[in-house]
A = this chain, B = another copy of it.
Amino acid sequence: MEINAIPEAFQTKLRLAVLSALLTGEKNFRELKNITEATDGNLGAQLKKLEEAGYITVSKAFVNRKPQTSCVLTAFGRQQFKEYVEMLERLLGQAEE
């Protein structure tokens, strides 16, 4: 990954917070809303972007007779996150030599 080609997924607090939360496993819409403190509309919009970019998978089902949207990080999403962190580590490392 190059410093001039940082994916949009990492360029807002909200999307980054969503990805971070998903690193530790599946989360539903409510959980993400609590974690990020975003409004329904905004969270929905950003989830859609992350899904379209292939970072997460969104699935819908009825759980306890209530609708539930669940989000999981894709292998690609996890990999990109890792590469992003590694790029930053590399830059920071260079500086300390």
Residues of chain A whose beta carbon lies under 8 Å from any beta carbon of chain B: 3-6, 11-13, 16-17, 20-21, 23-24, 36-37, 78, 81-82, 84-85, 88-89, 91-92, 94-95
Nearest-CB distance from A62 to chain B (Å)? 28
- The dominant DSSP class at the A interface is helix
Assembly of this chain: how many copies? Answer: 2
Cβ contact within 8 Å between A85 and B94: no
- Whether A88 touches B84, Cβ cut-off 8 Å, given contacts A4-B36, A16-B3, A20-B3, is yes
Closest Cβ of chain B: how far from A85's Cβ, in Å? 5
| B85→A23 contact, CB < 8 A | no
Contacts of A11 in B (CB 8 A): 11-13
**A4 interface neighbour in B5, B37, B92, Cβ under 8 Å:** B37
